Structure 1
């Protein structure tokens, strides 16, 4: 078990990080799926009692990763903002303050389904916002897990998780990386998101994350 696990995919080294992200050493790129900034704020505006501080917690986790790994680019695989209601003055102020601490970092957002509904982040955040897919090296970086005719897909959207079964009725569901032959899924980075269980199908490698470690289960 380790805080990151190196795998080879399409003859390319990728690091699966225990904080539910992928680091691509050759590109010095950090890949993040489904951060869902402002989700709690959107729920509170609908009158739902949900936790405070999730945006700041997610940004602090990003800061930790950017300090730990040499990054020239940060790529969001969709669902950066959760909803139109996420664009509150408080949330946008936090984002601008965070961006000011990383002025030279190239940031790309590949629009996901929530981004299309929430609207693009303000131009003042200095993000390159593009439709899917973004072709980079052997990979098609996407939000939706749709096959690509020529490139291996790295996608988010589904928030994959795997259930570990123990003795009796004990079980534990953990976020996971789902690495397939031509399509792979990243877990949701956001700390306030749901999960979808995936099975251990043939030809699929599953790597779960928990307690600041990542390990292969299938």
Structure 2
């Protein structure tokens, strides 16, 4: 499915009401819930670059450092006291000497007052991470009234689901030009977040009638008209 930008001006953050709560869709791919002092992100895939390099694929280093910097900025800007990662916190079980583990430990020490909750995703095949990461892991969904936090989208009778997993993108088409753009995808059952990882692909999605999509590009968020 293709989309075209609405005529409304783009913004760094766009407000969305869900279950009577005001959420902020942020251009850094995070979702802020001001009343809950909570920041949501999906699919951080920490260590992904290292996995590729171990397999002989030459990919740029420094992606974890960049993602942690974006995460710090988002926490500072929103004042969130809780960070919820909606699955795929890691890309693969880490080796004990992987550089990203030390980087994350230093980052965690600088945000010791932030509660971190992770709902396990399909990539989170992790038996244990260092204790100083201080992460509250959940094998299934975590209910933060009125939201159900989990990795994969779907219906939950308790309330709207906040999820990731899909890495949603849509195609843009105009005057013969085409592009792919990550989106926040508002569905009947909740909201799907774009991948937070800066080294992540995306899957083209086909929103249903009545769905809404919010494009994220060049530091801005804008609602799009589906074609």
User: Which bracket does the TM-score occupy, shorter chain normalised?
Assistant: over 0.9
Alpha-carbon distance in 1 for matches of 2:215, 2:126: 30
Q: Which has the higher contact order (CA 8 A, sep 6+)?
A: 2
Alpha-carbon distance in 2 for matches of 1:45, 1:100: 28
Listed one character per residue, the Cα deviations across residues 2-36 of structure 1 (whole Å, up to 9, x for unaligned) are: 11000101111000000101000110100010010
Report what 2:178 is aligned to: 171
Listed one character per residue, the Cα deviations across residues 118-176 of structure 1 (whole Å, up to 9, x for unaligned) are: 444322211111122111112110101132123111100000011110112x1111100
Question: Any gaps of 5 or more consecutive residues in structure 1?
Answer: none
CA contact (8 A) 1:140 1:152 kept: yes
Alpha-carbon distance in 1 for matches of 2:95, 2:13: 31
Paired residues, what number?
216
TM-score, with structure 1 as normaliser = 0.95
Counterpart secondary structure, 1:84: coil
Counterpart secondary structure, 1:171: strand
Q: CA RMSD in A?
A: 1.3
Aligned match of 1:15 in 12, 18, 24?
A: 24
TM-score, with structure 2 as normaliser = 0.91
- Structure with the largest fraction of helix: 1
